[in-house]
Chain A
Amino acid sequence: VIWVLCEDNASLRVTIESYVKSQFPEIELQAITSEFDFMETLHTWKDFPPSAFIIDVMLRWSRNIEASPPTPSWYGAKDRYRAGLRIANLLLATEELAASNLIFYTVKDLGELQLEMQEFGLHIHAVPKHESLESLFRSVNRAKRTDRHR
């Protein structure tokens, strides 16, 4: 079972990975650390669609390596704050991936993103990044249960 984690903060990524690994050893968690990496990897999932995507809404454009591509012309200063929503749109536009579970978490006010998230359909969970990862982990558990029922 493949899940994808879109998170650019290394500490947080390791923490979430270790939780998923301990609770659901059968899940192979693939980490994506930038929006560009996501777009590059998207086509590889078509044959073996991941069951779920855990997405931090605020995501950097590319990894910090010398060969990183520059941002595209449409990319503005505030776009980093909404990368997760664009990722979800790409998933929905890809037939093989449109039914995947989406779990959003963010430090931003969920109320601001609520309307846009509703458009993504019923198979999404959106949780705030509070002082603990409790709510995120609950959503992971819920998504895993839903996945079993499919």
Chain B
Amino acid sequence: MVDIEERLLLGFMQISGPSQYRKALSIARELLGVELLYLAEIAETLRPVANEKKKLSALSIASKEGFTESHQHHSLEDCFAGTAILERKEVCWLDDGYSLEPISLPIFPCFSSAVPIFLEDDAPPAVLVAASAHRQPDIQNLNAVVKSLRWIHRRIQEQKTLSLYKLVSNFLGQDEIDQKSVARLSLEIAKESRLELGAIHTRSDPDGTELLMTEFETNLNLDQIFIPNIFNLPRDSKHIDLSLGIRNEITASSSRVRTLERAQSRLNPTLSALYLPLRSAGKCYGVLELAGCTGRPFSLRSREIVRIKETVLPVANGLRRLENEEKRNKILGDLSSNVNGIAKANEYITNTLLTSHFVKDDQDAGLGSQFFQELLAEISSALPTADLISIRGPVDGNKLAYLQWHPKESWSDEDSGLTFSLDETESSLGKLVFTTGQSWHGDDVDNEPSYKGPFSPCKSASYVPIRAGNRKLGVLDIRSRSHSFTPGDRSTAEILGHFVGLAAEVRSGIRNESLKSMVHARALEDLNHQIITPLVVLMRRAELIAAEVETPLPNRRTNVLKEVLVNTRVIKAIAGNALRVAQSVSCYVELSTYGKITKRAGKVSIRAFAHKLTSIISDANELSSTENKQFKLQSSLTENDLRMINVPESVWEQCVQQILDNASKYAYEDTIITVTIATRANRLVIRVGSTGIPLNVADLDRAFERHWRSQTAEDRTDSGSGIGLWIVKGLVESYGGSITLEPRKNRLNVILMFPMGE
């Protein structure tokens, strides 16, 4: 059971690119040993049909024989009973992926098993069906697949969120925002969300429709395109009351919004439609309509929609600047200096969150962590007129207190006693209500209640809610001592508040494993690279040997033999290196899963050790000669020493090869790496010293962390996954040995010690 879960996850980690569910099912099908694996969702038919069983529609199918995806529905009950099968007429043979021919394989009738699956807690129910012509698929194994599919689903959702987020970030960072760019953004959002949209449209057709239609039809192959023109809605339009709805419900009350009738007439038949309000500061600036003619219906509970809604919010802020030409120019002028700051904040969040900050496993996961302090410092540049920007979160019931704050100048932190009502602060949008009942508007300096705080007096204040999904996390509190905030500042603050919320959400996500798994996946990708590269070279060298040997030139025999010898030596060295990397993979899995490596019995004599080490160093020299690095061995071992090293040969070899590989990787070009071996008490000591990329004393402990690599090492070496020292430490310690690092000026010594005995 554990085994199949592990294998599934390892397989899933490699998946990337489009059709990820299908790829995951293919891997799972292979592991389960069944002919067909079929993920189906209950079709959410928007039209109520009386006395009809709930239907299933296929999401993805993986099969050995290349079954085509069927649009035919199967009843849920039949699937649970294991009697839902694909009929012969649906089963087709996929010839090279292009032509369809009837299949003649006797695959059905078959044994089939099904288990329920909820890809997310609030997602529609679905079933996973496995079918085999030979045996009953194991339900326990199917449940393992369900668990793993939920994992990959979470990963895909994270990727989608980040993709959407990047799109909006880029959009807001543009110098000029016009209708064309809004149209493009809407379509990109739809494309990223894989909503299978039939159309995206709003209320009226702006100029240049034909041009955009052609462009988007080519890119997206949609059924019908309408260009978003969401600025022309009257502000008092009742659209704002519609919020999120489905088409049927809205058309039922179409008298309230006349334009919907026109929309309906232009888009028939419509399978599903969604209306997303574009709001900012409590006002609605339009509705983004997503309507689909093909594919599956949208689900109101779908997280995808929620994510779009969240993404659309900051877009609304950007669009607000366009509603009035004169106002737009003024606000854009005001904001021109802020744009760079926003772009910088975007870049910071999108780039940094995914790398070092996520890997850093600090204990404080809340808004008060060091991470958010750094984030505030970074995004403060987006608001040049603010003197203080802080995050406040609930610490006692629904009261707010300062969690993190970032002043432009030095402020004293004397305000920790103040608390504010979260609900009041959130809804008042600029109006701060004290728990004492006193109220104060940020612009009203004269009537400001007296209190001792680090930022009194201030001329202007703005409070923006920070949300993660539907959860209220706190508010972003922005203050200026000398400036009044403009509407543009307010818009920027809202965007930043959205970023902080998103950052908090994504950050908490990593603690729930998914992004950590991305780090694992990246490590595996690196290992993959480290294995493939030597194998590629190895294959080529072998081909050269074969070609040389087959050359019928007797008078060149000596040269041929010399070539063969050289190539064979290189092959041996590369194969040894590749073997070590391959061994690292199994150690990686074992250490990741169980936190330790299982000890195996085995000993090696000093003499055998010395002999083998000489050979290993000779191989290492063979590989590093291209970069003019040379290994030199200094030994004080004596042949009379009859003690044994209490470690199996494969283990010490793997450790030593890893240390030599590190030394070769990190040593400067044209340098000598010294390897010294000696015995001390009951220990064998191997010291590898080289001049190369420096290691700071402060990083000594981090060097043994999994996935940690110094930035300089990342920049200057061609490969590496940051797991070598972590694995060696795990290995030597499980055999009672040790590994230490000695940083010296321009030099690093790595010292390995193995226990010895009789």
Contacts and interface: CB of A to CB of B under 8 A. Distances in A.
A48 to B, nearest CB: 27
Nearest to A114: B17
Interface string A101-121: 000000111011000000000
A131 interface: yes
Nearest to A9: B718
B617 to A, nearest CB: 18
A12 B692 contact: no
Interface in A78-131: 78, 80, 107-109, 111-112, 129-131
Given A76-B355, A111-B18, A129 B533 contact: yes
B696 to A, nearest CB: 14
B237 interface: no
A10 B692 CA distance: 17
A133 B693 contact: no
A66 interface: yes
B711 interface: yes
Interface string A123-150: 0000001111100000000000000000
B533 A64 contact: no
Contacts of A130: 532, 536
A77 B356 contact: yes
B188 interface: no
Interface in A1-41: 8-15, 18-19, 34
A8 B532 CA distance: 15
Given A15-B541, A64-B668, A131-B539, A8 B626 contact: no
Interface string B508-529: 0000000000000000010011
B238 interface: no
A129 B532 contact: yes
Contacts of B627: 10, 64
Contacts of A71: 711, 715
B726 interface: no
Given A64-B668, A64-B693, A80 B714 contact: yes
Interface string A55-71: 00011111111101011
Contact of A112 (B17, B356, B623, B718): B17
Interface in B323-357: 351-352, 354-356
B666 A9 contact: no
Contact of A13 (B539, B626, B667): B626
Given A61-B715, A64-B692, A65-B669, A107 B539 contact: no
Given A65-B668, A111-B17, A77 B714 contact: yes
Nearest to B692: A64
B547 to A, nearest CB: 10
A69 to B, nearest CB: 9
B692 A107 contact: no
B438 interface: no
Contacts of B716: 34, 60-64, 68
A62 B533 contact: no
A9 B626 CA distance: 10
B723 to A, nearest CB: 16
Interface string B1-37: 0000000000000001110000000000000000000
* Interface class of chain A by DSSP: loop
A109 B18 CA distance: 11
B574 A107 contact: no
A50 B563 CA distance: 31
Contact of B626 (A10, A65, A109): A10
A71 B714 CA distance: 10
Contacts of A133: 536, 539-540
A116 B668 CA distance: 34
B574 A11 contact: yes
A9 B715 contact: no
Nearest to A108: B525
A9 B355 contact: no
B718 A19 contact: no
B717 interface: yes
Contacts of A107: 528-529, 532-533
Contacts of B395: none
Contacts of A66: 668, 746
B157 to A, nearest CB: 19
Contacts of B354: 78
Interface string B415-456: 000000000000000000000000000000000000000000
Contacts of A12: 533, 536-537
A64 B746 CA distance: 13
Contacts of B667: 64
A64 B532 contact: no
B537 A15 contact: yes
Contacts of A11: 533-534, 537, 570, 574, 623, 626
Contacts of A14: 626
A87 to B, nearest CB: 15
Q: Which of B18, B351, B692, B718 neighbours the largest number of chain A CB atoms within 10 Å of its CB?
A: B718
27 contacts: A8-B718, A9-B533, A9-B718, A11-B533, A11-B537, A11-B623, A11-B626, A14-B626, A15-B536, A15-B537, A15-B541, A19-B540, A63-B716, A64-B668, A64-B716, A66-B746, A68-B715, A68-B716, A70-B715, A76-B355, A78-B355, A80-B715, A107-B529, A112-B16, A112-B17, A131-B535, A133-B540
Interface of B: 16-18, 351-352, 354-356, 525, 528-529, 532-537, 539-541, 543-544, 570, 574, 623-624, 626-627, 665-669, 692-693, 711-712, 714-719, 746
Given A8-B718, A9-B533, A19-B540, 6 more contacts: A64-B669, A64-B693, A68-B715, A76-B352, A107-B533, A131-B539
Interface of A: 8-15, 18-19, 34, 58-66, 68, 70-71, 75-78, 80, 107-109, 111-112, 129-133
